[in-house]
Structure 1
Amino acid sequence: MPRRTATMLASTLIFIALLCAGVLIPVPYSEMSPGPTVNTLGNAGGEPVLRISGRKTYPTTGHLNMTTVRVTGADYRLNLVETIYGWLAHDNVVVPHETLYPDGKTEEQSTQENAEEFTQSQESAKVAALKQLKIPVRTQTVVSTVVKDTPAEDRLHAGDVILAVDGERVKAPADVAKLVTRHKPGQDVVFTIVPAKEAAAAEKAGKEPDTTEKVTITTAKSESGDRAIVGIQAGTDHAFPFTIDINLADVGGPSAGLMFALGLVDKLTPGDLTGGEFVAGTGTIDDAGEVGPIGGIQMKLVGAREAGAKYFLTPSDNCATAVSDVPDGLTLVKVENIADATESLKKIKSGDTAKLPSCSAR
């Protein structure tokens, strides 16, 4: 065989071997890409994203889109070819696998955590929206979890509203542990509660619950043996004066909180916030209406612009990253809380966009 032919054949075989290795060998990276956006003022899966009953609502126009990011699963490993392509692609980001799934988190664990964060973001969005509109929201202490094989098992249940312990009113979750640990292990403690079913029925009817029960539980020793426990985790819940349902499947994490809250404000007030404009955004929100940072901001900007957004409500702590690569035609609007987000929407509606708070690198 001529030397030139042999060299070409060897080179071809080496190239094929390298290509096969690139396809077959996994690398410790994951990929993020723009996900779908959903108008919180509209429908998803044929159902309204925000459904309010028991309170007058008003017509809305335009868009208040929440944005998402697609990520490769915890159990999926990119190969070398996919990783290189992701690095070169403008709209994708390749990150170390542990960035998205720290401590060896499994797909199931990640999905569960994201679902819990999404549920909490919906609750906080409701509270923040109603507080912005000066609509009273009743905050109450509830049983969040009951630990298996502890005195509280089958005596208290998740969702029970804790009114008092030993006749002393409970004002916050921390009060529960404080009052229980006044006892010695083996002593009885009396909980005054509204059972979960009665509390849920009263909230649905927009009424105060009128059924209470006293539950006596004998305390046990903590694992360290130096304090009394009953085996529950107390948390905070809110009772709303009317029914608010947020319907959105296959979405996780806390980053839609701001846009849910703004959608609720829009539906509960006369007129409309956007003036028909296409506004997208992101950001966590707490009960006080403060907006927090999120991950994947650049992917969300791309997804928003591709969907048609002209303005993007950006958490202030994400501004420095966001301004480094803004899609053409998209204006970033810095937000720190629901109040200034609402004011910015009013400026967008009126066309007074020169006064919008802008993002800057810092």
Structure 2
Amino acid sequence: MNYKDLDKIKVSSRLDDTIRFAIEEGYSKRAKTKKRGLKKHIAAAAAALIIGTTAFGMAFPTQAKEIPIIGNVFAYLSEYAHGNYAEYKDFSKSLDMACEDKDVKITLNDAIYDGTTVMVTYTLESEKDLGDDIYIRDDLDIKGYFGGMTGSSGIYKVNENTYIGFMRMTMDKVFDELDVRLKFDNITNHKDLDIKGKWAFNFNIKKTDTDILVANKGVTKDGATVKIDKITFTPMSTIIHYSQQVPEEAIKGYFGAYTSLVEVKDDLGNVYSGEGNGGSGTKNLMKFSSTYGKIDKDATKLIITPKVEFEVLGEDGHRIIGPSILKSDEKEVLDYLKQKGTLPKEVFLDDIVIDLK
């Protein structure tokens, strides 16, 4: 995706400040739809794909420069970025693949695939210092896969002339193994740095061991039904797959609806943090997933609190307006909503309790 295309994306108003801050600080947000993937319902699903993408900061915290070794990028991401990757290194595949061009060497360190998301870490070394705030354009393709993909990427300076980075992409189909092609073709700071090159890699990776619990349990409120379809347990993570169904009469007047999991906790009092992997589907039926850390082995129940936000399309036909706008002072937008007669709203549903044992 080119930066000039960003204005074409419909984005929920509740993300306005987040996206503005992310761009200023150098975040890399991406939502990619491959050939033939989600063509039929891309307009309805676009908001969920964007919202579901979690981006890691590239503002290069000073702690990054204090890391003595960079062999375990997962450890850095767990400590200084969003996400819980503490145990990913133990179950990842070591790649140790290098490609050099334009006096820049990129080495792929590790890759891991949990059946939902593939994540790759890498090291970038340059003959000269490229500065603190750099961006690298990347592209990941899976052989034989033509569905939708959402994800995030980031790069951090850790030493003079040395950077670490990652790429994380989620698919809506499960494979036993993947043939991956990952390429980088541009390094820039959007100012005076513009290095065009070719750094391309091909590798195969197998899915980690998984244990699937079919939950098929949901709740309904204000016409919206949220159901926990299944939970995937891997050696290093927990993936919650859930769906949202909103009939036409319940969504009349709204652009669409988007479900997030407000809280995930167990019966021992542990609260789990996670990140959304995006979603796909139609205006009436959407499917999502979110990845969390490992669940306490002694827990017997998982308590999940869902929230559905009903969103309104802005007057310009581009902006998607979420419930957070009602707490803002954007008079023109608020006047438009009053005139339209449909206000965005959020609906907190009852907890969904899943028996683990």
Relative to the length of structure 2, the TM-score reads 0.23
Structure ranking higher in helix proportion: 1
Q: Which has the higher contact order (CA 8 A, sep 6+)?
A: 1
Relative to the length of structure 1, the TM-score reads 0.23
Structure ranking higher in strand proportion: 2
Query: Of the two, which has the highest radius of gyration?
Result: 1
